[in-house]
Structure 1
């Protein structure tokens, strides 16, 4: 199979995982601290998030959130390289709960909990970072997006939280 088809398939599987994640809103590995509803975030939280991002995420996702080159194409080991977290990537397509779980539990565990078999290179940070630190990193990432992207992601988060509360 050609790399373009593999990449398209992998992106489709990740998108499907997001749909499954939303559909299974009341199950899965979501921790009690996962919700990061849209709210005003302090400058101190954003500064902490930026520092933690640079220390823990930038080596793979880029100092400027640009991701790795050819992030849509599987690398030699069959994994997709780290995607950008700026508006050009797909991070903003996911609700906060999925972003939180992906960061805390790692990509492999989060996808496996959804019944999705896809090799993920995203490690778990739950033992290195507190829930508040993970949320501050996500708040920092979101703070860099244009207003229209933040609004779209906030709506996904709102719909996800509403589904979880039903």
Structure 2
């Protein structure tokens, strides 16, 4: 009887160890996939966004002051801007359709839509890259805004 109890304890311990290793490998795999998405987003950002929003996501100077044509300079996407104040679906829509299409009412913007250039997955990758650069506080706030905006 004592032998059966020891075998049972050993089996439970082995099962727990296997579960821990399996979960750990799944977490490692997920982290690797996340890093691949971020790397893709970084490349796409450099190719499509950096010319206006800056290589370091710093935006254009005086981005809150309208230009002579009434349009605004490209805002930063780092923590000094307002990107992190918006939910993922809105940010993805702005990237896909352009700011004027999202704001409507005749609003004019130099921000074009990239829906003809990037797939929805690529647009999400760009956003994942941008979000990966934010400090923990801004990332947590933006995550909560996204969660609260979900239907």
**What TM bracket, shorter-length normalisation?**
0.7 to 0.9
Q: Which blocks of at least 5 consecutive residues in structure 1 are unaligned?
A: 1-38
2:116 pairs with one of 127, 130, 139? 127
Q: Which blocks of at least 5 consecutive residues in structure 2 are unaligned?
A: 1-29
Provide the C-alpha distance between the structure 2 equivalents of 1:89 and 1:152, rounded to a whole number of angstroms. 14
Provide the C-alpha distance between the structure 1 equivalents of 2:63 and 2:40, rounded to a whole number of angstroms. 27
TM-score by length of 1: 0.70
What is the deviation of 1:96?
A: 0.3
Provide the C-alpha distance between the structure 1 equivalents of 2:107 and 2:139, rounded to a whole number of angstroms. 27
What is the deviation of 1:76?
A: 1.6
TM-score by length of 2: 0.77
- For the pair shown, the structure with the greater C-alpha radius of gyration is 2
Provide the C-alpha distance between the structure 2 equivalents of 1:52 and 1:121, rounded to a whole number of angstroms. 19
Could you tell me which residue of structure 2 aligns to residue 141 of structure 1?
130
The answer as to 2:107 corresponding to 1:77 is: no
Provide the C-alpha distance between the structure 2 equivalents of 1:66 and 1:100, rounded to a whole number of angstroms. 19
What is the CA RMSD across the aligned residues, in angstroms?
1.4
Alignment of 1:15-164 (within 5 A): 42-112=34-104, 116-161=105-150, 164=151
1:49 counterpart SS class? helix
